[in-house]
Structure 1
Amino acid sequence: MFRLLILGLLLLLAGLQYRLWLGDPNLRQVWQLEQAIIEQRRENQLLTERNQRLEAEVADLKQGLKAIEERARSEMGLIQEGETFFRLIEPGPTRRPQP
């Protein structure tokens, strides 16, 4: 009787070990999911920081005229009344006259 109980417990242990290592979900899948969670949290942190920068820029654009002016000057090349605009052109390669 005692041997039958031991055999039953060993079979139960083997069955549980099978489910743990080879069943669905197994430990390898759990470890992969944990890694995916860590990577997703990193990505979420980067996106949260980007969103905060964008929110600050939007708030600055809503409140301050300096940011709007800076954008107009840098992106559109606008100048104010009474200002003089100087355009500097880099000299290109010189050509030799052909005979």
Structure 2
Amino acid sequence: MIRWKLPLLLLVVFGYLQYSLWYGKNNVYDYRDNVEMLASLRADNEKLKARNEQMFAEINDLQRGSEAIEERARSHLGMVKANEYFYRIIIDSDSKKR
């Protein structure tokens, strides 16, 4: 009588464990989805870290010296110093073809 109860009990326990592994809460499919989402979030975080480092470097440049401020004013705002001339050379599209 005990000979057939133990294998049956082990089979039921094994079946329950397999069911919970494949179809229960936190199953294999959920684990795979979570791993993919984690990889995506890590990639996004790396991009954000790189952007933050670039912004901190730019902030430090602007806080430490006037050269960075001057360079930004010249390149983005088109400012010139006193006794300085600004020349803009515009090439026509017709002259490019010749």
Deviation for aligned residue 1:25: 1.4
Aligned residue identity for 2:25: D
Aligned residue identity for 2:5: L
> Number of residues paired by the alignment?
94
Aligned to 2:81: 80
User: For residues 28 and 71 of structure 1, do their structure 2 counterparts lie closer, same or farther at Cα, with a shift above 3 Å needed?
Assistant: same
SS at match of 1:82: coil
Q: When the two structures are superposed, what TM-score results if normalisation uses the length of structure 2?
A: 0.87
Aligned residue identity for 1:86: Y
Higher share of residues assigned helix: 2
Identity between Structure 1 and Structure 2 (%): 37
SS at match of 2:86: coil
The Cα RMSD (Å) is 1.5
Question: 84-93 or 65-74: which moved more?
Answer: 84-93
Distance in structure 1 (CA, Å) of the matches to 2:11 and 2:26: 22
Deviation for aligned residue 1:92: 5.3
Deviation for aligned residue 1:91: 2.7
Aligned to 1:34: 35
Structure 1 unmatched runs, 5+: 94-99
Q: Please list every run of at least 4 consecutive aligned residues from structure 1 whose deviation after the TM superposition is greater than 3 angstroms.
A: none
Aligned residue identity for 2:75: S
Deviation for aligned residue 1:89: 2.3
Distance in structure 1 (CA, Å) of the matches to 2:15 and 2:80: 80
Structure 2 unmatched runs, 5+: none
- Cα offsets for 1:24-58 (capped at 9, x unmatched): 11111112101211221121112111101100100
SS at match of 1:84: coil
